[in-house]
Amino acid sequence: MRFGILVFPGSWSHQDFQHVLADVMGFEAREVWHKATSVTGFDCFILPGGFAHGDYLRAGAIARFSPVMPAVVRFAERGGLVLGSCNGFQILCEAGLLPGALLRNASLQYRCQWVHLRLESTATPFTAALTPGQMLRMPISHGEGRYHADPETLRRLNGEGRVIFRYCAPDGTLPPEANPNGSLEHIAGVCNARGNVLGLMPHPERAAEGVLGSEDGRLLFEGLLARALG
Amino acid sequence: MLQARVYITLKQGILDPQGDTVRSALQSLGFDGVADCRVGKFILLRLTESDRAKATARVEEMCRRLLANPVIEDFRFDLEETP
């Protein structure tokens, strides 16, 4: 598997993804500058966290028009794997590759903390090897992560098993205090209709080594590894 | 020269914690007549286009493609002559 990690001006998680995918997990991984227009030979694109283009206007609003994005959209439309974390999730929503939008945290605070996530669906290759109901622990680090979608979209996402993660308490329940940003229905991650594009606010790349407190972030990529080898 | 004044607001029903905070700040200053407060964006565009119809179509497109996110925001704008 060859990963392309998109780097926008203001990205900040690209080197962590590079380290985890290449050094920790042994994948081929390469950074791709946002001005690249021809991007071939990749099996998966990562849109990392950060503040692409300063997050001016709205988080992801400018980045979605970066020169590299038409190629990423075409890649996704052909079924190519795309994962966006944090700012990457915001960019995927702005680009229309994922439904909904991410708004200012209800608390108005920037939240940098560990969260528990309940895996809701295995409808995407990133979670195909996991078990619904499985708990994962990863950090979040964002000021604009309150997921919003209109009622009809929300119904469709739930009905089609496209809500992938919800913020929850350690026991898997959904009390309001386990929702760090006020997301509708505790939603932390969703995928597109085909399942090949996944967006989540948490940072799997910051939870991929025991020394950092959790290795659960690796689970999203271990399934891909198994698939690639299988 | 034409100038477009673009107003972008959160759609009705979308929680606006910033607006709520401003409202309670007003309340704590004694302005208790504010039933609701919504905070939005104001964007001023000085245009090189002088034809009003063309400028209207152009600004409309700018709002749809970039300035507002139709999932969460509404927009409106007006045009005025500036020196």
Count A/B contacts: CB-CB distance under 8 Å: 34
CA distance B71 to chain A (A): 6
User: Coil, strand, or helix at residue A3?
Assistant: strand
Question: Which CA distances in Å does B14 have to A111, A126, A163, B20, B68?
Answer: 21, 31, 20, 12, 15
Concatenated DSSP letters of A94-127: HTTSSSSEEE--TT-S-EEEEEEEEE----STTT
Query: Domain residues of chain B, as ranges?
Result: 2-81
For residue A226, the model assigns a pLDDT of: 75
Q: Note the ipTM here.
A: 0.91
Query: 3-state SS of A122-190?
Result: CCCCCCCCCCCCCEEEEEEEECCCEEECCHHHHHHHHHCCCEEEEEECCCCCCCHHHCCCCCHHHEEEE
What is the rounded CA–CA span in Å between residue B12 and residue A158? 23
Say if CB B77 and CB B44 are below 8 A apart.
no
Compute the distance between CA of residue B52 and CA of residue B13 in angstroms, rounded to an integer: 33
Q: Which of B18, B66, B69 sits opposite A101 (nearest CB)?
A: B69
Q: What total of structural domains would you count in chain A?
A: 1
Distance from CA of A118 to the nearest CA of B (A): 25
**A window 82-111, beta carbon within 8 A of B:** 93-94, 99-101, 103-108
Encode pLDDT of A116-172 as tens digits: 999 999 999 999 989 999 999 999 999 999 999 999 999 999 999 999 999 999 999
Please tell me the distance from the alpha carbon of residue B3 to that of residue B68, in angstroms, as a whole number. 18
Is the overall model pTM greater than 0.80, yes or no? yes
Nearest CB to B18 within list A58, A61, A104: A104
Contact flag A103-B67 (C-beta cutoff 8 Å): no
pLDDT at A228 over 90: no
Q: Does A137 touch chain B (CB under 8 A)?
A: no
Q: Considering only CB atoms, which chain B residues are within 8 Å of A58? A: 69
Looking at beta carbons, which residues of chain A come within 8 Å of B40? Answer: none
User: Domain of A161: which CATH number?
Assistant: 3.40.50.880
pLDDT tens-digit readout, A19-44: 999 999 999 999 999 999 989 999 99
The pLDDT tens digits for A69-112 are: 999 999 999 999 999 999 999 999 999 999 999 999 999 999 99
Residue by residue, pLDDT tens for chain B (83 residues) are 999 999 999 999 999 999 999 999 999 999 999 999 999 999 999 999 999 999 999 999 999 999 999 999 999 999 999 98
Fold of B2-81: Mth169; Chain: A , (3.30.1280)
Domain that holds residue A181: 2-229
